[in-house]
Amino acid sequence: MNTPADKSNHSPDKDAGKHWLYRSENLPKLWVIQIVILVLAVLPDFFLHHHPHFEQSGFTLDGSFGFYAWYGFLACAGMVALAKILGIFLKRKDTYYDE
C-alpha cells in the first residue's frame, strides 16, 4: 500500500543514509502513487453499475457513481473528527491512574 512518511520529521540535509521511505524527496512520489491507486479504484465505476441493496425502500444512493469511495472517506474523516472532539474531554496523561 501507499506509505507517505510524516513530513514534519524530515529535513533534506538529514536524509543521507536513510531508508528510501524516509527520504523527503520521495514523499511527493508516494503521494502520486497513492492518488494513482485511488483513481484506479474508482475507474471501474465508469463501466459497472453497482446493484443497490435497498431498492425496495427507495434508497438507491449505494448504486450511484463512487458511493463507496466518498462514503468510506467521509466515514473515516468523521470518525477521526469525532475522536478528536471526544479526546478533548477524555484524554488524560498516561500516568493518570498511577499510584
Per-residue x/- track, 60-99, another protein (CB under 8 A): ------x-xxxxxx-xxxxxxxxxx-xx-xxxxxx-xx--
Binding of another protein by 29 (CB under 8 A): no
How far apart are CB 13 and another protein at their closest, in Å?
Answer: 15
Per DSSP, the three-state class of 2 is coil
- DSSP code, position 90: H
Q: Which of residues 33-62 bind another protein (CB under 8 A)?
A: 34, 37-38, 41-42, 44-45, 48, 50-51, 53-54, 56-57, 59
Distance separating alpha carbons of residues 22 and 27, to the nearest angstrom: 8
Distance separating alpha carbons of residues 85 and 53, to the nearest angstrom: 33
